[in-house]
Amino acid sequence: MTQLAPQLQGPFLARPSGPLTGTLAAPPDKSISHRALILAALAQGESRITGLLESADVLNTAKAVAALGAKVERLGPGGWRVIGTGGRFATPHTPLDFGNSGTGVRLMMGAIAGSGAGADFIGDSSLSSRPMRRVTDPLELMGAHVSSTDGRLPATLAPSQLNGISYAPPIASAQVKSALLLAGLGASGETIITEHHATRDHTETMLRAFGVRLDITGSEDGVRIRLPGPQSLQAQDVTVPGDPSSIGFALVAALICPGSRIQIEGVMDNPSRTGLIQTLREMGADIEIARGPEMAGERTMNITARHSTLRGVDVPAARAPSMIDEYPVLGVAAAYAIGTTRMAGLAELRAKESDRLAGTAELLRRNGVALEIGEDSLTIHGRGAGSVTGGGMVLTHHDHRLAMSALVLGLAAQQPVSIDDASMIATSYPGFAGDMTALGATLEPM
């Protein structure tokens, strides 16, 4: 296993920049990268993964599947070979450390439970504060035995045999749905998941690519997924598409920096992930889209974005599942828009790497942006281009998306914007600083 060091450390600063120009290859998608490793590890045979995101979160998943018995080898930048276990994970002798990754730990809980193995799960202080009962409660309904303190990490999963259940998650969460589908692969009988609000469907798409039979239908209740178990997976080669969440930072930066024109290539074009682009277009963003090749069963797109005059909009709560990770950077765009932007249905932001709703409000307030925050809403009063005073030091609370959003805010502010720590950016987008500076952004350590 190769340990890749993060590129960013300590306090960082973003200075007002000139036009951003150039072409950016979209960073690999984190959600697909996690799933590619997990499904390859469960499969029978050898899978090759091209374009894997080599972030700290994904590398922790790679270490976990290796500890469970899969043979994992890095062939070169983004290129990995995984020889799967045929669905027979081995209980590891040491705890699986997922660092800051909620996706990694929750999906792996389901995969390990379904395989009949056990494991101890740990993470950093941020991950250890995040709720796990949303996954462990339904897994226990399937027959898993999980012990933890107050439903958080550290947690221990004992080896057990599972039975399929019919379950409707009380919150819209692709992580919960995916964990239960992965558990269902090894369960006796049918696992049925009913979503009242459809979430990102990468797991279903990739399961089919690995030979899994499942049925997806619309119903009066929402979307219903049926997976008969047990089932085995057959190894596949996977090319990881670009991350719609990570490209949001360069996209918004181009829209708010006068004179900018950038192109972003290879972005996954999945309706469950494109809420930010839809919202920015409603705000008046000059965004052109051209179709790209298919990767990992997903369509991709090439995007051209130009500096635009943005206007405030009302963002419907129903759109939240398709852009839940992008609200901090949408808040940056709203700060530079003319008029008021209202966002609703944001309760899930309070259970991210930090209380991301409060963190977004804090980073904007510290830099002179007027707003109101509710229990699950945020209202931002933008005053147009050049109106953000900047000058604030933003506390990132170990949250990579707050860190990157604050730095984007500073690129068009009147004064530089700083963050207390940039190191956690490596959990999702280790190439952020290099990509942004290549486009013309001024980012520097303090």
Among all residues, which ones are annotated catalytic?
325
d(CA 25, CA 96): 32
SS3 271: coil
For residue 313 the two structure tokens come to 């909009």
d(CA 179, CA 126): 20
Q: What is the DSSP letter of 325?
A: G
DSSP-derived secondary structure for 6-63: PS--S-EEEE-----EEEEEPPBPHHHHHHHHHHHHHSBSEEEEES----HHHHHHHH
Which pairing describes strands 12-15 and 442-445: parallel, antiparallel, or unpaired?
A: antiparallel
Element holding 220 (H helix, E strand): none
Between the CA of residue 381 and those of 250, 277, 332, what are the distances in Å? 22, 20, 11
d(CA 416, CA 410): 5
For residue 427 the two structure tokens come to 């959990």
